[in-house]
Structure 1
Amino acid sequence: MTTRLVCTALLVGACRFACAEDSSLELPADTVTADARPKAGLELDRPVETGSRLGLSLRENPASVSIADRVQIERVGARNFLDIANSLPGVNASAPPGWGGYVAYRGFNGAQISQLFNGINLQYGAANRPVDAWIYDRVELIGGPSSFLHGSGSVGGTLNYVTRLASRDESSGEARISYGRFDTTQVAFGFNQALNEGAGPRHYARIDFSRDDSNGYIDRQERGASNLAFSLLSDLTPRLSHTLAIEYLEEKEDSPYWGAPTLNPKSGTLKIDRHDRFANYNVEDGRYEQRTRWLRSITDYQLGDVTSLRNTFYHYEGQRDYRNLEVYRYSADNTTIDRSGGYRQRHDQELNGNRVELLHQGELFGHRSDWVFGLDYSVNQQTNYPRSVSAVHDNVTPGAFDPGHFEDIAGMTEPREKGRSNEIETSAAFVENRQQLSERLALVTALRYDHIELDGTNHRSVGADDPARFERRWDVFTGRAGLVYQFTHDLTGYVQYSTSAEPPGGTLTGASFSQVRDYDLSTGRQVEIGSKLSFLDGRGTATLAAYRIVRKDFPVAGPQPNTTVQAGQQTSEGIELAASLWLTPKLLAEGNFAWVHAQYDEFNEVVSGVSISRKGKTPINIPDRVANLRLTYDVAPTWQLGADARYVSAVYADYANTIWVPSYTVYGAFVSHRLDDHTEVTLRGRNLTDEVYARFIHQSNTQYYLGEPRSFELALHSRF
């Protein structure tokens, strides 16, 4: 009774907050209990929303589609959704300040990889800061262009972060508490509760909360974040269901780490002073903060036995604040460091939209034919308040310097004032079909039309490159066609062709007039062939995909921060392999490997006023190989051991490919013991060899964004 009252009170008090998207009628395939052990296989027969609105399983989809569900999240010890994404084939994700959730995949990065929250695209990379993993049910990935499903962009692929929602399962609860190196702590809990019984409408509520704090592995870098997710599922009639979902995030990071300066001379392999590995050259009171609210209202109505209707209203509000000194460069003799790049910024963003989908499962020409028809309308508004000073602030000696304060930076005490406001209005219509051509062969097609309107307002001084107002309009058609052939019950093969399109400037929410005035749509196309296989009587599963992506007329990062230049064409060709196998009844092996050859076919970089061709060069921050391997061994009914390894190859730090960051391999391990039927304790170690490695390289100032050193964590997890 107490839980029911608490859930009801939270619903009433939380309606001003906000949330993201998932299915209210389609429940997770598995219920995690205290007896849960790693599941065998890649779950090829599980439907994945990110790859299709038709409810296609991984096996039925003519694309490379992967999923990391709640069991895998806990198995890999993921602390945020980027940790989850990195467990998927070919993904290399990090979160350097100012870049949000940075992802490289299939030879592309940044805005070229769509990141969705419950199927909704915020259309701004800095909004994709990694949220703690506790409130997420799963992360889904589709490789290559998926504009036909999610709108403009996503030439390299799409990641979809799906939050937990109330379910019709029996009432349950769970809690977790952990402590690790650098005073890293988490306190989290979650409850799913049936609110009533008997005839008439039935209601189910779920609440999840986590609080995470850490002193950070970099000097003076401290972070705290709170996450709340609440949802109410109401079966109003046997045919009508409604889900209200609300989420709130608040994050604060003191003296954010902007990377370690690299030593001179900058040629070949970039190096840092390892004795100064944990130094923070930001000011004492540097700051990053964000507050986000999501709200979704999802209505499902079963019109008949084979026809259903879904309507999703969504609302998002986000505010992000930066206040930092961001650029650090060694003197020629590497004895002192110039600090520059004073930067103060605020983003106010609001997204409102509504999507309606009609699903019909019928027959055509004597064979099964499933259809989805839909409309999507949204308005995305963002206003920024920028202030930056590029001049050198001071010169400090590594190991002995006063970090100073933000207000000491010249020009940073001016009042906050608006810079630019952008409004993006998008109207879309889409259709998707799976037509069974024979008992074994199916044709899967999709077509989407987007009408995009950008209205920009410059609140500051007006010039030829910055008018007071500007408008641009684009009309975009994208699609997919794929064939899936079932050779046997356990083996399918597929081939597909898909396209993408996106406006210039990368992301329109932050685009300036100069970034969009002279450029038309960027376009992409992909050809992919692959197979999906179960073998050894279900003990093993595997997927294999080979692809070629061509992208034309697109922006790339310019030589100065927050600038872009235009490239003519890029080609990416690659292979992805994922597999899972029970080697013995107690030993599970899982792994994936991705190789990509990405190069510019048409791109001239201007260096000191001279145009130089970069044809054949690899884009910046793109690894050509990424691999993961995990072993899990059930030593006894109450004891479990695990080990893992992750490899990321070297990446280039300039368009000329003359400087690069070396490859790295990190190892981890865990031991878990069940204290009783409800509670387990886990000791986990990360980066056991204490590898010094860069997860990201800042292009404009060649600063390493170092990965976490060796650490250990002890966690207690209880389900009841």
Structure 2
Amino acid sequence: MSSQQIEERADFGVTGAVTRTVGLTVNGSPGNGGLSFSSRGFSGVNSVGVAEDGMMLGVASGTLTYPNDAWGYERIDVLRGPASIVYGSGTMGGTINAVRKQPSRERSTDLLVGAGGHGTARLGLGTTGAINETLSYRIDAYGQHTDGERDMGRASSQKLMTGLRWQPRADLKVDITADIADQKPERYFGTPVVDGRIVRSLRERNYNVIDSDIHYEDKRARAKAEWRASDALTLREEFYFFKADRHWRNSESHLFNPATGQVARDDYLEIGHALDQRGNRAAADWKLADHRLAIGWDVSEARYTQFSNSPYGTPTNHVDAWRPDRGYWSSPDPYLPRTGTRLRQNSLYVEDAWNLSAQWLLMAGVRRDWYAFDRRNLINGSTANTDLAGTSWRLGGTYRLDERRSLYAQVSQGHDPVSSLLALSATQTQFKLTRGRQAEIGWKQQLPDDRGELTLAVFDIRKQDIITRDPVRPAFSIQGGKQSSRGVELSAAYKVNAALRFDGNVAYVKAKYDELLDPNSGADRAGNRPRNVPATTANLWAHYRIGAWQTSLGLRHVGNRFASDANTSRLPAYAVADAVVRWDMSRASSLSLVVRNLSDRLFATNAQSDGQWYVAPGRSVELIGQLRF
């Protein structure tokens, strides 16, 4: 998805942008940092990876918080299915990669200003240009604020992305980037369900405590050198550093009691993350006759300290569902550093694309990852450690039928951790990486006269070694569960004439647990669909232009989902419409009216639990001005 498409649809957040693509839905919450997705039947930050410029960030206790805003990115790529050969472990369902805008010697500036209901305001600035004959720069700054439609709905985020490029000659360039992001998301952990449904009169209620807190701060720096040693060989070297500091202090469980009309407020959790990750990536691209080889080595080390008030001993309190007494944070348990972990990773990979003929392109690749994990309990001093390893590979081919049509097929293998690699518990250190394999076939078609394109994909993914209950020793968990999905995805774009064009997609996936005894209850979940995974999704956009005016209407459909692996509570399917009316006042300036959730639809995006769902915002209106010079 390009920055032009993101701008045209007014999708300012990464989650809003990528869930317009085929088969991808959001499972985000304040607890996982908001960057949790479902793709091809697999969901969560340990199965759908997030990267920036190809660099995966460490997942700490199921949490990712960057990149959050789409400003400053040239495009956002979505790679579906196992992507371990490119990104390592934790990508069974797919990977989202945000590709940032690069410094340019041609001076230009983009400015975005927006304001809307519920105290919403946003400001974006992007500028680039030459400093001297060898240096160029790029700066992207963005900030947004809203008071929100719910109680305690205030949220804000801001970031600064900076880049400096030194290019003393055509075959050599060095890029240095330094970024900082600060987020304070809405302190909302879902709405209680009443008789298995959302009640409209509770839509604006928030049951968190008044002095709750959610705060993420991410810092990153990177230095990358690229040398085109010859027409056949390009070498790359990259050093990077990433640091995240996060804090939560909230009541996270809010369940409705129909007998009393009250909400039981529980789970008074205070949690902190201190994470730093540093590493080096070396790579070479080599053209050898009809072969294009890519060879690389990655090495990194991440250190993570988790703070908390575990064992979370605050008793449950009850508040009126319609007029809740917000109350204040209270916990008898001290907030202390509880665990410290270290994860060292080494990876080697090689890929080959072979132009066998004018019609045939064959691809093959293999990657090996080694992980060394150490864990220390900072309260009692106990330790645990493990060494993990996984092999990923991919075999595929593309056959070009003619200049507009091609067929492809591929088989790939990848791996996921049983939990976040940086936060394995002492008992989880006995487990190995899970394994998954995908088979995929597809067809790509370009329409005549550049009228559009069509892509069809059919896939089958099978994953094994997921955690299940030991049938012989019910008190223990073992590896041995299995999960699978199979489905079809169709994407298309069609230009009717100079004024009217369409683009959209539809996906169907049949996802299930093939073998699983619930690790918590021991109940048999075989045949059940994983939580927060829809069977059907669809997106459609229509754009109509008359002169300087363009009207865009977007429709999004997400099928029903289950709130838990028990499949006892079902979130209804929903369809929601968005609209953008844009007036290009000149070549350099435009004004847009953006209406989200056009019909003020009441629906849940995902579930915290069977009795607590995340309710999407209602209708909102915003005016956006953009200027380029």
Q: Please give the range of the TM-score, normalised by the shorter of the 2 chains.
A: over 0.9
Report the counterpart of residue 473 of structure 2 in structure 1. Answer: none
Query: CA offset at residue 599 of structure 1?
Result: 0.7
1:461 alignment partner, SS class: coil
In 2, distance between residues paired with 1:671 and 1:556?
51
Query: CA offset at residue 135 of structure 1?
Result: 2.1
The reply on whether 1:107 has 2:29 as its aligned counterpart is: no
For 2:159, the aligned partner's letter is N
Q: Is the CA contact 2:157–2:181 (under 8 Å) kept in the aligned structure 1?
A: yes
For 2:48, the aligned partner's letter is I
Report the counterpart of residue 478 of structure 1 in structure 2. Answer: 392
1:709 alignment partner, SS class: coil
Moved more, 640-649 or 547-556: 547-556
Say which of 167, 173, 180 aligns to 2:109. Answer: 173
For 1:474, the aligned partner's letter is L
For 1:194, the aligned partner's letter is A
Kindly tell me: are residues 570 and 196 of structure 1, through their superposed partners in 2, closer, same or farther at Cα, counting changes over 3 Å?
A: same
Q: Is the CA contact 1:95–1:130 (under 8 Å) kept in the aligned structure 2?
A: no
Summarize the alignment of residues 209-358 of structure 1 with structure 2, pairs less than 5 Å apart.
Answer: 209-253=141-185, 256-264=187-195, 270-333=196-259, 335-358=261-284
Say which of 141, 144, 150 aligns to 2:78. Answer: 141
For 1:320, the aligned partner's letter is R
Say which of 71, 82, 89 aligns to 2:22. Answer: 89
Kindly tell me: are residues 192 and 570 of structure 1, through their superposed partners in 2, closer, same or farther at Cα, counting changes over 3 Å?
A: same
Q: Is the CA contact 2:66–2:218 (under 8 Å) kept in the aligned structure 1?
A: no
- Relative to the length of structure 2, the TM-score reads 0.95
Q: Deviations over 1:580-623 (max 9, x none)?
A: 01011111100011110001110012676xx4322111111100
Summarize the alignment of residues 528-677 of structure 1 with structure 2, pairs less than 5 Å apart.
Answer: 528-555=440-467, 568-605=481-518, 611-636=522-547, 638-677=548-587
Say which of 370, 380, 383 aligns to 2:305. Answer: 383
Summarize the alignment of residues 187-206 of structure 1 with structure 2, pairs less than 5 Å apart.
Answer: 187-197=123-133, 202-206=134-138
Q: Is the CA contact 1:80–1:130 (under 8 Å) kept in the aligned structure 2?
A: no
Query: CA offset at residue 564 of structure 1?
Result: 9.1
Query: CA offset at residue 334 of structure 1?
Result: 5.2
Where structure 1 has 5 or more consecutive residues not aligned to the other structure, the ranges are 1-67, 265-269, 463-467, 558-562
In 1, distance between residues paired with 2:332 and 2:53?
41
In 1, distance between residues paired with 2:54 and 2:87?
7
In 1, distance between residues paired with 2:66 and 2:516?
30
Say which of 401, 418, 421 aligns to 2:337. Answer: 418
Query: CA offset at residue 116 of structure 1?
Result: 1.0
In 2, distance between residues paired with 1:95 and 1:387?
24
In 2, distance between residues paired with 1:332 and 1:279?
17
Report the counterpart of residue 186 of structure 1 in structure 2. Answer: 122
The reply on whether 1:456 has 2:380 as its aligned counterpart is: no
2:7 alignment partner, SS class: helix
The reply on whether 1:678 has 2:588 as its aligned counterpart is: yes
For 2:526, the aligned partner's letter is K
Say which of 680, 692, 716 aligns to 2:602. Answer: 692
Q: Is the CA contact 2:343–2:371 (under 8 Å) kept in the aligned structure 1?
A: yes
Q: Is the CA contact 2:241–2:278 (under 8 Å) kept in the aligned structure 1?
A: yes
Query: CA offset at residue 272 of structure 1?
Result: 2.5
Q: Is the CA contact 1:450–1:477 (under 8 Å) kept in the aligned structure 2?
A: yes
Query: CA offset at residue 236 of structure 1?
Result: 2.0
In 2, distance between residues paired with 1:129 and 1:241?
26
Report the counterpart of residue 42 of structure 1 in structure 2. Answer: none
Kindly tell me: are residues 625 and 565 of structure 1, through their superposed partners in 2, closer, same or farther at Cα, counting changes over 3 Å?
A: farther
In 1, distance between residues paired with 2:260 and 2:56?
43
Say which of 467, 483, 492 aligns to 2:406. Answer: 492
- Relative to the length of structure 1, the TM-score reads 0.84
Q: Is the CA contact 1:420–1:459 (under 8 Å) kept in the aligned structure 2?
A: yes
Q: Deviations over 1:185-221 (max 9, x none)?
A: 0011111111124xxxx11101010111111122112
Kindly tell me: are residues 243 and 564 of structure 1, through their superposed partners in 2, closer, same or farther at Cα, counting changes over 3 Å?
A: farther
Q: Is the CA contact 2:313–2:331 (under 8 Å) kept in the aligned structure 1?
A: no
Q: Is the CA contact 1:135–1:227 (under 8 Å) kept in the aligned structure 2?
A: no
For 1:115, the aligned partner's letter is V
Q: Is the CA contact 1:338–1:392 (under 8 Å) kept in the aligned structure 2?
A: no
Moved more, 563-572 or 592-601: 563-572
Aligned residues: 618
Query: CA offset at residue 539 of structure 1?
Result: 0.6
Where structure 2 has 5 or more consecutive residues not aligned to the other structure, the ranges are 470-475
Q: Deviations over 1:135-170 (max 9, x none)?
A: 2221101111111111122111111122222124x1
Report the counterpart of residue 514 of structure 1 in structure 2. Answer: 427
Moved more, 576-585 or 391-400: 391-400
In 2, distance between residues paired with 1:529 and 1:581?
23
In 1, distance between residues paired with 2:235 and 2:157?
37
Report the counterpart of residue 718 of structure 1 in structure 2. Answer: 627
For 2:578, the aligned partner's letter is G
Kindly tell me: are residues 105 and 536 of structure 1, through their superposed partners in 2, closer, same or farther at Cα, counting changes over 3 Å?
A: same
For 1:191, the aligned partner's letter is T
For 1:183, the aligned partner's letter is G
Query: CA offset at residue 401 of structure 1?
Result: 3.0
Q: Is the CA contact 1:502–1:521 (under 8 Å) kept in the aligned structure 2?
A: yes
For 2:194, the aligned partner's letter is L
Query: CA offset at residue 332 of structure 1?
Result: 4.0
Which segments of structure 1 move beyond 4 Å, counting only runs of 4 or more? Answer: 563-567
